[in-house]
Structure 1
Amino acid sequence: MKKTITAALAVFGLVAFAQAEGDVARGEALSVTCSACHGTDGNSADAANPKLAGQNARYTFEQLLAFQTGDRVNAVMSGFAAPLSEQDMWDLAAFYEAQTGTVGEADAELVALGERIYRGGIVESGVAACIACHGPNGNGNAPAGFPRVSGQHAAYTAAQLYAFREGYRAAEPAADARMTDGESMMMRSVAYKMRDFEIEAVAAYIQGLH
């Protein structure tokens, strides 16, 4: 079984690539190694590991490539991505895109603030609304490569926002500094303006968003 992914030209760092066709069945076979951390269907049980189910293929491919090139740093993922061919990455991406993501529950004490930030941003500190790129239901924007965030573990989302915040002034990729948002520094500039409690609130809201 093959899944045709819309042909497109995208730029990741200085590397240009054409969005390719991914084989879902082959991706499923390759995903056996991934299942220990991400679950058999991409819905991880451990909140430290991201849910991949339903994620748009372009975004998953870009992140695998970033781990392989060192533009995103994680010892486990870098080791896993190192031997993958570009076709392997597209096949894995197609498999996870074809899966159905699960949704958790938002923390009742944080959800109201989280929703305000997600839908309206933080005017006084110039934080843009998350909804602009990630959509009203958190499904992202596949053609633009903006990721699906719906139902993502709050702990994982918060960790990534903190990492983007650290990456705002970082000179090079590091384990505690994420810089995979392109030259626009979109996520880094947003996260840099957020206080800890605001990050935790929006992460909690996203966990229950669908």
Structure 2
Amino acid sequence: MDDKDKANPDRYGHAVLLLPGWLNSGPDHWQSRWEVLHGHRRVEQDDWLWPRRGDWMARLDEVLLETPQPVLLVAHSLGCQLVAGWAAHSAHVERVAGALLAAPPDTEREDMPPNLFNWRPIVRTRLPFAAVAAVSTDDPYCALPRATQMAADWGAECVEIGPRGHINGDSGLGDWPDGLALLKRLAARGG
């Protein structure tokens, strides 16, 4: 199965593109599980260790242009910042029906590693498509007030999912059925 086949429309009526964060999503991460279980396509980046915002944005544009269907973006961590930065600059935002943004990190924090410094400042432009931000009440990479403010700035519905850490493979989410329910709801809103 080639990458274009993997992005085929699923039960949501859209292609689903997975946008992992810094260092990619490991095998126990819900994004990796969704890729295997549901055939969603992961947007691979050239450099997961030293991510450059412009390079990641260009790669997202490439993948969108080769995907013939409308797209739902499913972002985790730095992938959320990718969606915000990309949407503020791309000429192809009309190809996106909606975005699920899980655990947006606060890249402006003093304790962020230097690998992420070029993701400052955080792009806070309102997204031109429907979005839902899933945030944890105890995310070690973003205080809850900062996460809810980012969601508000982006025009995203903010859903607090309780104390689930960084909503990653260490959070005990398994296949994260609640996340799939958010995606289904988003697909219905995105048209």
Give the TM-score, by structure 1 length.
Answer: 0.29
Q: Which has the higher strand share?
A: 2
**CA radius of gyration, larger in:** 1
Give the TM-score, by structure 2 length.
Answer: 0.31
Q: Which has the higher helix share?
A: 1
